[in-house]
Structure 1
Amino acid sequence: MMSNGILYQLGKAAAAEEFFELLGVKYDPKIVNVARLHILRRMGQYLAAEDLNAATDVEVAERCKAVLERAYADFVASSPIDQRVFKVLKEAVAPRPKKALPLVKLDRLK
């Protein structure tokens, strides 16, 4: 892959807005301000399912644009809490196993 290819450029991006600009995806700054990390994480999840090995840079850019649009749409339709992209949010709603309280024998109490 060329050193100035789209994946290289995205790898150098320092802000979510740069991803949107590099890929030519329109966005509402209010949504990106609330869900920037969630959108990029979801984009990464979608990209992980893609086979880009034999793709040209133009094809890679088109796929990246499509998955960013899809990831962004997820957060236009609902909130980061609803989407639960990150482990901490998934665990927040997971049922917790009940811990057995330690048994203290009465004869040990003073």
Structure 2
Amino acid sequence: MINSSPAAGILDRLSKASSAEDFFSLLGVDYDPKIVNVARLHILKRMGQYFAKEQFTGAAEPEIRARCKAMLEQAYADFVASTPIDQRVFKVLKDAVADPNKPAAFVPLSELK
């Protein structure tokens, strides 16, 4: 858990979070640990994608907190409704389906040293 002053802004407190559970706790978002255990990195990556589209300049702290909470709730909902494979937030998962006719990379054992 994070040891940050309650007076610190939510963005500062989120920047010091060390786990997905910290994000959920800081923003007061309920979650199913089974879903977070499977998709924690995917949820945080998706939240980061939503976050990158936001502009907080001039926003008051309560509005920033509410918008961050909404982003986490949406990111979490994305993975409640489908799987990390379906959502493909990471490049490696996107590349796996980019060209279905492309043969899989194969390195024979004899080539490994």
Alignment TM class, shorter chain as reference: 0.7 to 0.9
Equivalenced residue count is 97
Which whole-Å CA distance do the structure 2 matches of 1:10 and 1:74 have between them? 20
What's 1:81 paired with? 85
Which whole-Å CA distance do the structure 1 matches of 2:102 and 2:28 have between them? 49
| Percent pairwise identity | 68
**Secondary structure at the counterpart of residue 40 of structure 2:** helix
The 4+ residue runs of structure 1 with deviation greater than 3 A are 96-99
CA RMSD, Structure 1 to Structure 2 (Å): 1.7
Which whole-Å CA distance do the structure 2 matches of 1:70 and 1:41 have between them? 12
Superposed CA deviations along residues 69-109 of structure 1, whole A, max 9, x for unmatched, are 0000000000000000000000011117869xxxxxxxxxx
- State yes or no: 1:43 paired with 2:47: yes
Which whole-Å CA distance do the structure 1 matches of 2:100 and 2:87 have between them? 20
- State yes or no: 1:27 paired with 2:31: yes
Question: Which segments of 5 or more consecutive residues in structure 2 lack a partner in the other structure?
Answer: 1-6, 104-113
What's 2:64 paired with? 60
Question: Which structure's relative contact order is higher, taking Cα pairs within 8 Å and 6+ residues apart?
Answer: 1
Q: What is the TM-score of this pair, normalised by structure 2?
A: 0.81
Question: Which segments of 5 or more consecutive residues in structure 1 lack a partner in the other structure?
Answer: 100-110
- Name the larger-Rg structure: 1
Q: What is the TM-score of this pair, normalised by structure 1?
A: 0.83
